[in-house]
Chain A
Amino acid sequence: MRLGVAIRPSETDSESWERFEALYRSSRDDIYAYVLTLLRDRAAAEDVTAVAFERAYRRRRTFDRHRGDERGWLFGIARNAALDELRRRRRTATLVVDPEDVSDDELADDSDEDQAVRRAAVREALAALAPRERELIALKFHAGLTNAELASVLGVSESNAGTMLHRAVQKLRRAVNAPV
């Protein structure tokens, strides 16, 4: 899943495009899952995912590999786009419907009932987490970022990111294992 390449400023158009395309193919689903975790709205997540990749494409020459990995850079762009969407929702709060329950539409199609129940429990536990904790879980397990990359995206120290992640994981475990 990880792509160990970086877009260099001195690259030609063709080279930078190839690297961006590789980054897109390796990160599209992860970006979507991460954004959906933040927004809890499929339509908004699709829009924000597209916006994030477009922004990344426009800014691909500004990427500085000395400041971090390209996946961290891409998830930073996606995070800002998602937060902008949250801000926009706050400004138009009266027009926005409640967050979509993304688990309902798949529950009926699941053949394995136990597995479906388990998935629903996890989603419910994730929804119960605070937004920042939910974001940490998504960045860690959907995007596969290291603690250093987490710190870079969130703008905190690496140790701080590790601590916050540990607490979020503990909270998620307790929520999933808690008796219903």
Chain B
Amino acid sequence: MRPFDEIPFEESDYSDVALMVASAREWPADDFARELDARVARRFAEEGQDGGRRGLRRSIRLPLWSAGPAVALVAGIVAAVVVVSGGGLGSTTGTNPGGPVVLTSSQGSSNGGIRHGVPQRYTERTPSHGASRMQSIETVPSVHSKATSGAGSVGATGDANSPNTLGLASTAPVAPGAKQIQSAQISLTAPNDHVDQVAQEVFQVVGDEHGTVESSHITAASRGIGGGYASFMLSIPTGNLQATMTDLSRLHFASVESRTDSSQNVSHQYNNDQRQLNDARALRTSLLKQLAAAVTTQQIDSIKAQLKLAEQQILSWQDTLGRLQHRIGYSNVEVQINQNGLPIPVYHRTHSSTGFTIGRALHDAVRVLVVAAGVALIALAVMIPVGLVAALLIWLWVWLRQRRREHALDSAG
């Protein structure tokens, strides 16, 4: 017979043992029974009101089924953060799902070019006439006032808090009749939803001062989202530069963040170029006289060759001098609006981007559904392994606890 084969018996077979055990049965003391009755009558209330550790543990104890939604909620939040911050659902390039509606316009001239997408910072493109005469334009967003460096150049930087804000940036004194190349940079801040209006004001100022827009880049954005940005490269008659800067400092929806005025004394360069031109012209006049006096064919051919070279030099110096004069007569002005704003992806639209349309609503609804499905998928992907591990640990803990209990009974003796 195997050890645990059932042994048939009747309950009545144990009547003698029942009597024996009943005779030896222990009964609870009256005091204990009364005390326990009282505790039960109070529904063990005192244990729940003692405010001690046990009460705290009981108050924060959650039923097991509530752990699932809690884990799902946490996982969902984590997934949402991942999706929102990193575009974790693989958004299409060139679109801006769920983001602000963005208008982008660009125009450019020969040196500016048309710029699409993320706005770029302009870099100085002015050609120099020698390594020692570099012009510098610096943007200083802080409150520091700073003079630009460079041989033969002077400059000043201001900010919104400085007394130079309204077109009064100081420059070094210049001798009367001196030739100067002037340039300026102004950085403005404007609310995101007013960037477009500020840009229109800039265009208006340029027109009023008879200047031209070399290039511009405008990125408008919805309110409160960030990313509104614009930049302009302007060419302004030097005589109108201060008036232009003053007007730019007084735009309705913008305030000045920083401003830099720079000037470079090019008198020496200008005089040198002028002298070279005069020398070349004098040489040509002299050669013309020699040509008139020449008698042999050989003399005539030689003088004509020299004359050709002289005329080429005259043209070259005229071109150089003309470019220098243009730079003296027209100043470059760089305007930045919200230059510290983060650029945002561009969402190209083929029709009106403002107002409610069924298409936009459907698009938004689909995006919301896709994001919600993605969040749910990620939450499940997190929850299932976590839940399995947690269930395994709980089962292991229960099994170990019961095993220890049984062991305690076996060793009780």
Contacts and interface: CB of A to CB of B under 8 A. Distances in A.
Contact of B44 (A54, A118, A123): A54
B17 A173 contact: yes
A118 B44 CA distance: 39
Interface stretch (B244-252, B291-299, B368-376, B401-409): B401-409
B409 to A, nearest CB: 5
Given A32-B28, A57-B43, A80-B405, A141 B413 contact: no
Given A122-B23, A142-B21, A142-B25, A87 B404 contact: yes
Interface in A36-63: 36-38, 42, 46, 49-50, 53-54, 57-58
B413 A131 contact: yes
What are the 7 tightest A-B residue pairs by CB atom distance, in nearest-first order?
A83-B405, A86-B408, A122-B24, A159-B6, A141-B21, A87-B408, A32-B28
Interface size class, chain B: 35 or more
A176 B18 CA distance: 13
Interface string A131-165: 11001011011100000000000010001101100
B131 interface: no
Interface string A100-144: 001100000000000100110011001000011001011011100
A64 B67 CA distance: 21
A180 to B, nearest CB: 16
Contacts of B33: 28-29
Q: Taking chain A's interface residues, is the majority helix, strand, or loop, or is none over half, making it mixed?
A: helix
Given A57-B43, A132-B409, A163 B4 contact: yes
Interface in B212-227: none
B409 A90 contact: no
Contact of A90 (B22, B58, B411): B411
A172 interface: yes
Nearest to B25: A33
B26 A163 contact: no
B57 to A, nearest CB: 11
